[in-house]
Amino acid sequence: MNYFLTEEQQMIVDVARQITDEKIIPQRAELDEKEEFPTEILKTIAKADLFGLYIPEQYGGFGGGSFDMVLALEQFSRGCVGIATSFAASALGAYPILISGSDELKERYMPVIARGEKWAAFGLTEANAGSDASGIQTTAVLDGDEWVLNGTKQWITNAGDAKIYSIIAITDRSKGPRGASMFVVEDTDPGFSYGVKEKKLGIRASSTRELIFKDCRIPKDRMIGRQGTGFFTVMRTLDLSRPGIASLGIGLGQGALDEAVNYAKQRVQFGRPVISFQAVQHILADMAIQLEASRALVYATSRYIDSDPKDMSKYSSMCKVMATDMAMKVTTDAVQILAGYGYMREYPVEKMMRDAKILQIYEGTNQIQRNVIGQALNKEYSRS
Amino acid sequence: MKIIVCVKQVPDAKDVRLDPKTNTMAREGVQSIMNPYDRHALEAAVQLKEQYGGTVTALTMGPPQAEETLREAVACGADDAVLVSDRAFAGADTWATSYTLAMAVRKLGDFDLIVCGKQAIDGDTAQVGPGLAQRLDIPYVAYARKIHSCTDGKIRLERLMDDGYDLVEMRLPGLLTVVKEVNEPRVPSLKGKMKAKSLKATVLTAADLQADPACLGLRGSTTQVVRVFSPEFKAERCMLTGTAAEQVDQLLAKLDSLQ
């Protein structure tokens, strides 16, 4: 459908599409098989200026918004959600600094992130703090001019490959939700190390490790925003990033639909292409319907976010749920259309189906998203 | 360092069809792309610029729509672009093309290096690069597969050969044509695309070049395409029977008879 993109937005799509077709698609199977981080592809993306897409021009970025990111991520994920996730995770690590960081922190970190010279990552999840962020155990204690961090973050995307980490730690447990603060930790900080690389079902080109803080000392000025604003920054970050995850769903759904339709057109059974059978056509039609509806919601939401509304959580959650549930369904259907071939690793759809599952889980499970939407509805309808 | 890259707009090979009646290439509705070898030439030039400083000028001869290819070149790192375009150039073979390009290069003034792809995927002659060098009376190296250095008015590079490679040093100004192994062409950058959007290529016509009309286009061409056809392929199948040893004997006899 024509979504009436501006000339600049069309350029973003064209650049991202070319990277996807020429670099990502030819390499995705091998990177998945070897569980190898896509260093060279990320460098290509950096050279194409896309790491700075959402970063203000004053810090060397393109000055784009949520919608620009959605357009780029949609293309990358059409090729490989693992690679797209590695790219997106750098933005996730940069958002807290952009949202709450001091000008000085922004000046220090945004230009290198915008140029793609260093990748960023976001550290929230812990062994006992997943959906329930209040379970965070990592602490930060001020000692003279330094913060001393202790604790372990779990399942952190880009961990070990990124150089800049935005992490949340408890600075005053007695203050409850206002007792957490965010910090920038650098790869080389003393007392900071990584756990072993996790083995995953899907998005295997992306790297996932623990962040381990053992008396990790960082300068005082690495705190992002004021003390106690950690949860606010995290929530705002996730509001901004969810349409990105949703766009991974639509890109993946598009990739799966492309494979399924092309296959159904050339696969001959009972003397005719299987696409001529209504049973197959209806599956493909449902895939296309759900995909286009999801795309429309994701685009609308990210455009809404770019209008800088006061509260975007409900819509941000809606598009994440819809597009990622769609991706799970559509990739599963694509495997069904390709049937025996689809189940084989020689064809890309089994990987797409494996990759889809994480989208319903990370950056807030789809159940948590429904909580957010439910609570927003409860609040809205209490006002009138 | 002033580098000129010759690029050509060609039909996308993924899209090529022959008109079954006329046996010529069906160009209508076929996507045009930058000749794939020229993307490597451009990348080589841009990398040299990044390493040693200077400028990269993309040069093409073609119809007005070839400006699209120049735009792509600027998006990928060329600084400016020149379109050599005139109805008088139509139908040029490699002889007339190299003449026209040489006139254009002279018009552009001093340069240090010209980089071309080894050949275009439509004509496949691989003659225009070397032809251009001859016309300009400069040294050239074809089939460059790796560039080592470019200092003190000399370029050191590896030339791909059937049985390995030659290490070659060429004095500048000179011309080289590159093979695909030379590099991995970059994807256009966003900033490059923005710049390319507002590109106004310098257009050079036959009059601008002060070219001899007798040397241009079809008139200036020494070769002409009389007929284009797909060669007929006649395969003969022959089944060998008997024991393995007998089959081997039959096969050897057959191969001998073919010599």
Residue at A315 is within a domain? yes
Q: What pLDDT band is residue A298 in, cutting at 50, 70 and 90?
A: very high
Tens digit of pLDDT for each residue in A230-245? Answer: 999 999 999 999 999 9
Nearest chain A CA: its distance from B197 CA (Å): 9
User: Contact A349/A338 with Cβ under 8 angstroms?
Assistant: yes
Say whether both A203 and A328 belong to one domain.
no
Closest chain B residue to A47 measured between Cα atoms? B189
- Best residue in B187, B189, B194, B197 to probe A by mutation, most A CBs within 10 Å? B187
Tokens matching residue A195:
């756990």
Its domain, for residue A75, covers 7-114
**H or E element: which one contains B3?**
strand B2-6
- CATH number of the domain that residue A67 is part of: 1.10.540.10
d(CA B71, CA B58): 9
Say whether both A262 and A326 belong to one domain.
yes
When CB atoms are compared, the residue of A15, A22, A44 closest to B190 is: A15
d(CA B130, CA B175): 8
Closest chain B residue to A53 measured between Cα atoms? B190
| pLDDT over 70 at B3, yes or no | yes
What pTM did the predictor assign? 0.87
- Using a CB-CB distance cutoff of 8 angstroms, which residues of chain B are in contact with residue A15? 187-190, 193
At residue B227, the pLDDT reads 77
d(CA A65, CA A253): 23
Say whether both A78 and A153 belong to one domain.
no
Q: How many Cα atoms occupy the beta-carbon half-sphere of B183 within 13 Å? A: 22
**Beta bridge partners of residue A126, listed in sequence order:** A129
* Amino acid making up residue B187: V
- ipTM reported for the complex, 2 dp: 0.81
User: Contact A241/A305 with Cβ under 8 angstroms?
Assistant: no
Taking an 8 Å cut-off on Cβ atoms, the answer to whether A14 and B193 are in contact is yes
Q: Which of B120, B117, B124 is nearest to B175 (CA)?
A: B117
Say whether both A126 and A200 belong to one domain.
yes
**H or E element: which one contains A93?**
helix A81-100
Q: Which of B74, B53, B66 is nearest to B5 (CA)?
A: B74
User: Which of these three, A196, A228, A260, is where a domain ends?
Assistant: A228
Residue at A138 is within a domain? yes
- Greatest CA separation found in chain B? 75
Taking an 8 Å cut-off on Cβ atoms, the answer to whether B186 and A14 are in contact is no
Nearest chain B CA: its distance from A13 CA (Å): 10
Say whether both A191 and A237 belong to one domain.
no
Query: Minimum mean pLDDT among A100-114, A241-255, B80-94: which range?
Result: B80-94
Say whether both A356 and A242 belong to one domain.
yes
A72 touches chain B (CB under 8 A): no
A9 touches chain B (CB under 8 A): no
Q: Which of A250, A1, A10, A235 is nearest to A100 (CA)?
A: A235
Chain centre to alpha carbon of residue B65: 18
* Amino acid making up residue A35: E
Say whether both A98 and A131 belong to one domain.
no
Closest chain B residue to A23 measured between Cα atoms? B187
Structure-derived torsion over alpha carbons of residues B94, B97, B101, B103, reported in degrees to the nearest 10: 120
Taking an 8 Å cut-off on Cβ atoms, the answer to whether B187 and A15 are in contact is yes
Tens digit of pLDDT for each residue in B126-143? Answer: 999 999 999 999 999 999
Nearest chain B CA: its distance from A7 CA (Å): 9
Taking an 8 Å cut-off on Cβ atoms, the answer to whether B191 and A49 are in contact is yes
Residue at A50 is within a domain? yes
Closest chain A residue to B192 measured between Cα atoms? A48
At residue B20, the pLDDT reads 67
Q: Which domains does chain B have, with CATH numbers?
A: 2-223 (3.40.50.620)
User: Which of these three, A160, A193, A228, is where a domain ends?
Assistant: A228
Say whether both A330 and A365 belong to one domain.
yes
Q: How far is CA B83 from CA B61, B156, B219, in A?
A: 6, 30, 21
d(CA A259, CA B131): 46
d(CA A57, CA B218): 51
Query: Minimum mean pLDDT among A114-123, A372-381, B87-96: which range?
Result: B87-96
- CATH number of the domain that residue A347 is part of: 1.20.140.10
Catalytic residue IDs of A: 363
d(CA B83, CA B202): 6
At residue A141, the pLDDT reads 97
- CATH number of the domain that residue A205 is part of: 2.40.110.10
Say whether both A253 and A208 belong to one domain.
no
B54 touches chain A (CB under 8 A): no
User: Which of these three, A65, A81, A114, is where a domain ends?
Assistant: A114
CB count in 10 Å sphere of residue B30: 16
When CB atoms are compared, the residue of B187, B190, B197 closest to A62 is: B190
A13 touches chain B (CB under 8 A): no
Mean pLDDT within A166-182: 95
Taking an 8 Å cut-off on Cβ atoms, the answer to whether B194 and A50 are in contact is no
At residue B135, the pLDDT reads 96
| pLDDT over 90 at B237, yes or no | no
- Using a CB-CB distance cutoff of 8 angstroms, which residues of chain B are in contact with residue A8? 194
Residue at A2 is within a domain? no
- Using a CB-CB distance cutoff of 8 angstroms, which residues of chain A are in contact with residue B190? 11-12, 15, 48-50, 53, 62
Mean pLDDT within B177-187: 95
Say whether both A259 and A364 belong to one domain.
yes
When CB atoms are compared, the residue of B186, B187, B190 closest to A11 is: B190
User: Contact A252/A218 with Cβ under 8 angstroms?
Assistant: no
d(CA A274, CA B201): 50
- The residue ranking higher by pLDDT, B163 or B230, is B163
Q: What pLDDT band is residue B79 in, cutting at 50, 70 and 90?
A: very high
Tens digit of pLDDT for each residue in A240-286? Answer: 999 999 999 999 999 999 999 999 999 999 999 999 999 999 999 99
Taking an 8 Å cut-off on Cβ atoms, the answer to whether B189 and A7 are in contact is no
At residue B239, the pLDDT reads 87
Q: How far is CA A179 from CA A228, B182, B184, in A?
A: 5, 57, 50
Tens digit of pLDDT for each residue in B12-43? Answer: 877 777 666 666 666 667 788 999 999 999 99
Residue at A46 is within a domain? yes
Taking an 8 Å cut-off on Cβ atoms, the answer to whether A8 and B194 are in contact is yes
Taking an 8 Å cut-off on Cβ atoms, the answer to whether B194 and A11 are in contact is yes
Q: Is B146 exposed, middle or buried (0-12, 13-18, 19+ CB in 10 A)?
A: middle
Tokens matching residue A300:
């609308």
- Using a CB-CB distance cutoff of 8 angstroms, which residues of chain A are in contact with residue B194? 8, 11
Say whether both A292 and A329 belong to one domain.
yes
Closest chain B residue to A46 measured between Cα atoms? B189
Say whether both A204 and A152 belong to one domain.
yes
Residue at A250 is within a domain? yes
B193 touches chain A (CB under 8 A): yes
The tally of domains found in chain A comes to 3
Q: Which of A18, A20, A3 is nearest to A251 (CA)?
A: A20
| pLDDT over 70 at B44, yes or no | yes
